[in-house]
Each structure stands twice: as C-alpha cells, then as structure tokens.
Structure 1
Amino acid sequence: MATDLTDTVHALDAAAVMRLLPARPRLLALGEPTHGEDTLLDIRNELFRQLVEQEGFRTIAIESDCVRGLVVDDHVTSGTGSLDDVMEHGFSHPDLGLGASAANRELVRWMRAYNEGRPASERLRFAGFDGPLELTAAASPRQTLTALHGYLAGHLDADLLPCAADTLERLLGPDDRWTDPAAMMDPARSVGRTAEAGRLRLLAGELVALFEEYTPHLIAASSRDDFDRARLYGRTAAGLLRYHYWMADTSPARMTRLLGLRSRMMAGNLLAAAERGPVLVHAHNAHLQREQSTMRMWQGPVRWWSAGALVSARLGEAYAFLATALGTLRHRGVDTPPPETAEGLLYDLAVPADPGPCLVDARRLAGVLGGDTRAEPRVSPWFGYAPLDPARLADSDGIVFVKDVRASSG
C-alpha cells in the first residue's frame, strides 16, 4: 500500500507526543487494545517517567478501582504499607492480573522511590479511575457512603446531617446482598430497587449536597487530600447506588445505562484528577475514544459514550488521546497483519532496526487511507485484541504502534 507517511513515523517519547498535539493536555490518554500485556505497560511506564521528568506531569490514572487506588496513592506518597500488600489490595480486576503484573509493580516501586524526600507539592500521585465494579458484580456502597458520612460528621454540626450513622448501617444490611454475582444476569437478584436502596439513594444525594454547600468550610477545616478523598467517596457512593438501581432493571435500556454509568464514574474521577495538574491516563482504547462506543450483547447492540468522549466534551483540546495498535501478538494467535489493513501499513513502515514503539499522526494516516487506498478492517483471531477501525482513525490524536508484542514473563 503506497503512502507518504514515512516521515511521520517516529520513535515514541514524550517530546514527540507533545509536538504532535495542538495544545498542552490536562489529560493525556494512552489506550491499549488488549489487557494483560506487560510489554504495553512497560511502554506506559517509560512514557510516564519522561512526562514527569520533562513535562511536569505528576499523576498517573489507570483502569482500576478508584477506592482501592487510594491504597496505592498512600504508599507512593507516604510509604504506607508494604509493596506486597499494596499490590494485593490496591488493584481491582483480578481477572486482568493488575496486581500481579510485574510492570505495575515496577511503576509503584519507581513512584515511591521518586517521592522519597520530596515535598508534598512535587510528589507523584496514583489514581484508579474505574468504579468499584467487576465483570460480574458491583461493590456494596457501604465503604464509600459511611466514609462520606464520617467525614461530614467530623466537621459539621450533627443536626445538619440527614441521618445518623446507624441509620445507614440498618439500610445497607449485609454486603453480600449487594455483591451477588447472579444479579448481573438476573435483575430479580439485585437489591437496587428495594425500599432500603431507594432511601439510601436519597440520603446519598443529601450528603453530597451538604458536602458541596459547605465546601469553603470543609476545605478550611481539613486537609485538601482529605477533602478530595471525601469528594471521591461521595461520587462513588452515589454512582454505585445508581448502578445498583439499573442492575435491578428489566427494560431493554438496562445494559446501555449500566455501561453509561460506568463511563460517567470514570469521567468524574478523571476530571477530579486533572484538577491537580496534567495526568497520564491508561486504559483500554474503548474507554478513551471520543466517538460513541458500541457493543453487541445477548440483547442486541448497545451504544453509549465512553469516559474519553465525556471528558473530551468537557475539556476540548485539553484532552488528548493516543490509541495503541499491535502488529503481532503471536502467543495469542495474532500473526502478521494483512498488508491491506491499517496495522499492515504500519507494520511495513516500522523501522526494522528499532523494535521500540512508533508514534504516528493519526489524522494524517486517516487522510491517506481515506483516499485511493482505503484500508480493510483487520479481523483478530483472538477475542481479546481489538484492532484499529480504519473508519475511526481520526478519532485519536496519534497512534502508538507496537510491531511485535512478546508474552509477559509472569
């Protein structure tokens, strides 16, 4: 496939990324087309180091539980807990091996070493930006709802609060009522539309409203970290209760709303992280793209707006998205891409002597492929790898292309 793209294929580094972007981003999103590959996480780690040292980035946000992520943040900022404990308890999605990943462990170790002896204003921060949601279940709202209540009770007069702590405990009941994995496929098993859950949704809304009304007092009465953490608890408690409400729904809109609510929780966490300064975000391409997401499920096609689309609508050019694509993933059965695909074109352009990742101007690539030589969509023989959609190349600001991904040693 003949093109004039050779001069736009460069080695990936922070300087090349910043030159490609129209403006300095507050959120720089690096996508991945598959999970569980330490090669891709190593690339993420190196880019983050460069962004820290050369561009003043101080936060990394990954596709992991935002509440568990507080465990990691405490460790990297103040040394709380051992590295082993942090890797076990600070990451969600065990099916993806986030806590077992050698690359994630190295990221946490490096961040802690970097922060040692530095003032708080210069320390690196870690954030999970996903909700407390696993593939088959959502967490109980107990931890976040009671933590928000406790924060407010510690700083405001008791008569301002909409209820006492024991009222929340009574309404919440046992956690296993909320986390029943059968509820994902059987809405009747969900407690999200019980009278108790309805009352909790109202109380969560009142607690969040009270928090917002007393923002000036709360900022003055507590540390900024404690304030931000309480705000996260409020976002998450309200989001979980709304998510459980739609878990109990039986209409055709159920999965659309659940996917949209997850994206909304992600977007809220990303916008909050961006208030501290520029952030590198790492997640699946599908969570970071600007265009509407689609998925075919047992009930038919589902469409919703991803976290990247929601954040991009708010931030404009202050949101930048780099999609990652792969040439081969041979240990998963993904061999050399056909030459008529976008990945095939990039595979031919990648410098043979340089096995490192390349950075390509996505919009220029889209323009070339939209002319006389439009690319064919690549079909992956393995469900876990999502190829580039040649019709959506211009959705991203750049493409990180990794020619060959080798199996992770772990």
Structure 2
Amino acid sequence: MTAGYAATVMDLLPGRPRLLALGEPTHGEDALLQLRNDLFRQLVEDEGYRTLTIESDCLMGLVVDGYVTSGAGGLDDVMERGFSHGWGAYQGNRDLVRWMRGYNDGRPGPEQVRFAGFDGPLEMAAAASPREVFAALHGYLAARVDAGLLPCTAATLDELIGEDGQWTDPAVMWDPAKSVGRSPDAVRLRLLADELVAALDEQTPQLIPESRESGDREGWNRARLYARTVTGLLRYHHWMADTSPDRLARLCAARDSMMAANLLAIEGPALAHGHNGHLQRVRSEMRMGGALLRWWGAGAIVSAHLGEQYGFVATAVGTIRHRGVDVPAPDTVEGMLYASPRQRRVVDARRFAGLELTARHSPWFGYAPLDPAHVDRADGIAFVREC
C-alpha cells in the first residue's frame, strides 16, 4: 500500500468523518481484505481512528474485541467463534486480528483499537434463535434492578422460546409457513422484549453512574447492544413469517436497519467495512427469487442521520479471473479505471459525474459492479486492478 493512502481518502472529504465506510463489490477476496487492512492501519496511525467494524455478527464480534483488547482466548478459537458467514477462515481477517492485538499490547485502554461486528445474528439462509440475546439482556437487568421491575423471569423466556431449531430452520427462508415468527409465543416475546428495553431506558439514571463507578462502562454498552439486537431479531423473524409479495424486501430492510443501528452506536472515528450494497448512500437493489428487491440500506440510513459525518468510499475491481470476471469493457467505470496499470489507487468519484457510461455485467453472481448512474454519490472509489 502506498504511503499516504488514508490521506488521499481524507482529501476527498470535507473533514474527518465520524464513520468512514469502505465498501466492497464482493466478499472474501484477499486483495480487498488486505486493502482494508492497509487503510485501517494508516487511519489508526495517521488520522486517529480507533475502531474497525465489519459486516459480521455483532454478538460474535464481542469475542474478537475481547481478544484484541485483552488477549482473552487463543487466535484460532477467536477466528472460529468471533466471525459469522465464515469470515474467520480468510487470511486477511486473521492478519487484521493479529495486527490489532499486537498494536494494543501494552497500550492503555483509551489508546487501544477496538473491533465490532455491525451485522445482526443472521445468515443468508436463516436467523438465530433469540435465546442468547434475551438471556444476556435479562441477565444484565436482573443483576442490577429489582425483580419487580422486570416483565418476566428468565424461565418464562426459555419456555416461550422453546426449541432453538424452530427459529433457525433454513427451510423458513423459502417457506414462511414454517416460521414461528408470528406465533402467539413470538408475539408475546416481542412485547416482553419491548418491556425489557423500556426497563433498561427507565433505569438509565441508576445504571450509567453504576457502570462508571464500577469501571464497567462496557457492560452498559453491551446491554444497549443486546437491546437493539433482541428487538431487531424478533422483527426479522416476524417478517420471515410474512406471506406478502414484499416479504424478501422487508427482510432485507429489517437486516439493514439493524446494521444501521449498530453503526450509529459506534463511537467514532471508525472505519466500517462491508458490501457496497449495504454501505452506499443510494437505495439498494438485488434480484432474489426472480424478483427485483429495493430497500434503503444501512449506509443510506446512517448518511441521512450523520450527513457529512458519514463518508463512503466504494471499492471497484478490474478482474477476478478465478471467478470468470475478465477485463472490463472500456466504457464502464471499471474499464476506465482499468486503463491505468496501477494495481491499487483511490480516485474522486465525482470525476464520473455526467459521463455516458454503460453498466458492467458480471458472469458471476457473487460480484456486483458499480452502477454508473449513481457512482458519483460515493466520495471516492478505491480500485483494485487484479484480484
């Protein structure tokens, strides 16, 4: 990575954003993960950034954060238990975690770098049971407030949740009739989740001072994470049971809403890394089950809240030859960038405004080229010539 790469990104922005998002057009390519790692290192060393958040399970991310801040656990175990979607198997992510742990070694807490996942506890084919996050939120409150202030016991939650397998059944993705997301027990669970979150809010004058006095500010932050996650997860399961034509679009919107809430909760300055489709400012689109789905993604939501405090750099690639993605046509965004022999560079996205360019089409479903109609809504484009 060329020295000053982070500075080039910052020069494209009106100021240092609270949240800088680096998108990618496909997942799992080592060249893209190494680009992210290099950018984050420079942001930490030169721009004062202290947090990296990626498109991975927000609850599992706590395992990674515990390791990079304290060395808790072994690296192999952390890579297995700290990432969703199989991300822990990628060398680029392993290199990242190892670097973060090494950077933090011997540094006081305020100077350490932190890790977070911003996705919900969701996979493409299924969503998690609400048991873990319900137990975590209820347990936090039960240890700190009078039992009479809680809407139920832990045993009641366990009884209503039932078998975890009924929540995680992958058949639900294509057959809403198999979902328990709108069962009487699920409806009651949503009400109880709302009451638990309300109890957390109501007890804020007690809980925040106690967390400061005990030095357990992280406990409070985790409780807020549990509160966001339990309500979002139950909402996602609710839409899993939907039978309307808008079901899949509502699921996409529910997932991105959870992502946005997690991103907004992060104390900046932070770098977020995920798919362009999640982090872009414009409405997201995807074909699934033969239908064109459209919804507002996490980046669009966060951008609406933060304004200039949200920066977005989209990543584009020239070729992914092992996936059948060959040299781009010269009249595409990627084709114009490919004309330069440089392997990696950052350019101002506004240079493509008003140009008559065609959309690139990928022979591989796992790669999403940039849309020339909206490319100038990014602040910059990070280009990787060969993946």
Q: TM-score, normalised by structure 1?
A: 0.91
CA contact (8 A) 2:282 2:300 kept: yes
Cα distance in 2 between the residues matched to 1:378 and 1:242: 35
Residues 194-209 of structure 1 aligned to structure 2 (within 5 Å):
194-209=183-198
Match of 1:177 among 161, 166, 182: 166
Give secondary structure in 1 for the equivalent of 2:374.
helix
Identity of aligned residues (%): 65
1:291 aligns with 2:312: no
Within 5 A, what are the aligned runs for 1:259-278? 259-273=252-266, 276-278=267-269
- Contact 2:277 2:285 (C-alpha < 8 Å) held by counterparts: no
- Match of 1:358? 345
The answer for the alignment partner of 2:312 in structure 1 is 321
Q: How many angstroms apart in 1 are the aligned matches of 2:37 and 2:21? A: 13
**Deviation digits for residues 358-406 of structure 1 (CA, Å, limit 9, x no counterpart):** 1111012224x1xxxx11111112221111111111120000111111x
In the TM superposition, residue 277 of structure 1 has moved relative to its aligned partner by: 2.1
- The corresponding residue for 2:128 is 139
Contact 2:24 2:275 survives alignment (8 Å): yes
Give the whole-Å Cα distance in 1 for the aligned partners of 2:232 and 2:303: 20
Deviations 1:41-89 (A, max 9, x none): 0010010000000111000000100000000000001111000000011
Taking the aligned partners of 1:331 and 1:191, their CA distance within structure 2 comes to: 41
Distance 1:396 1:58 in 2: 23
Distance 2:204 2:260 in 1: 21
* Counterpart secondary structure, 1:359: strand
Give, in whole Å, the separation in 2 of the partners of 1:208 and 1:31. Answer: 32
Where do 1:337-356 residues align within 5 Å?
337-348=328-339, 350=340, 352=341, 354-355=342-343
Query: Could you tell me how far apart the structure 2 residues matched to 1:298 and 1:55 are?
Result: 43
Q: C-alpha separation between the residues in 2 aligned to 1:293 and 1:270?
A: 17
Distance (Å, rounded) in 2 between the aligned partners of 1:380 and 1:164: 52
1:320, CA displacement in angstroms?
A: 0.5
Gaps of 5+ in 2: none
2-side partners of 1:198 and 1:91: how far apart?
A: 30
Aligned to 2:203: 214
How many pairs were matched up? 382
Q: CA deviation at 1:123?
A: 0.9
User: Which 5+ residue runs of structure 1 have no aligned equivalent?
Assistant: 1-9, 406-410
1:86-235 map, 5 Å: 86-94=78-86, 98-222=87-211, 223-235=216-228
**Secondary structure in 2 matching 1:64:** strand
Aligned to 1:85: 77
Give the drift of 1:11. 8.1
**Do 1:252 and 1:299's aligned partners in 2 also have CA atoms closer than 8 Å?**
no
Paired with 2:386 and 2:249, the residues of 1 have a C-alpha distance of: 35
* C-alpha distance in 2 between matches for 1:138 and 1:49: 33
Alignment of 1:303-322 (within 5 A): 303-322=294-313
Q: Per-residue displacement from partner, 1:120-158 (whole Å, max 9, x unpaired)? A: 111111001000000110000110111100100111111
* Equivalent position amino acid for 1:40 in 2: L
Question: 1: CA distance between counterparts of 2:32 and 2:92?
Answer: 9
Query: Of 307, 322, 325, which residue of structure 2 is paired with 1:334?
Result: 325
Which of 57, 61, 71 aligns to 2:63? It is 71
Secondary structure of the residue aligned to 2:116 is strand
Task: Tell me the CA shift for residue 336 of structure 1.
Answer: 1.2
CA contact (8 A) 1:294 1:304 kept: yes
1:25 pairs, out of 4, 14, 17, with: 17
Question: 2:365 matched to which residue of 1?
Answer: 383
| Aligned partner letter, 2:242 | D
Alpha-carbon distance between aligned partners in 2 of 1:33 and 1:198, rounded to the nearest angstrom: 37
Q: CA deviation at 1:296?
A: 2.4
> Structure 1 residue 12: deviation in Å?
6.9
Query: Which residue pairs with 2:53 in the alignment?
Result: 61
Counterpart secondary structure, 1:399: strand
Relative to 1, partners in 2 of residues 1:396 and 1:346: Cα closer, same or farther, differing over 3 Å? same
RMSD: 1.2
Q: SS at the partner of 1:303?
A: strand
| 8 Å CA contact 1:11, 1:358 repeated in 2 | no
* TM-score normalised by L of structure 2: 0.97
Q: Could you tell me which amino acid in structure 1 is paired with residue 67 of structure 2?
A: H
In the alignment, the residues of structure 1 paired with residue 90 and residue 293 of structure 2 have an alpha-carbon distance, to the nearest angstrom, of: 31
Q: 1:26-45: per-residue Cα shift (whole Å, max 9, x none)?
A: 11000100111011000100
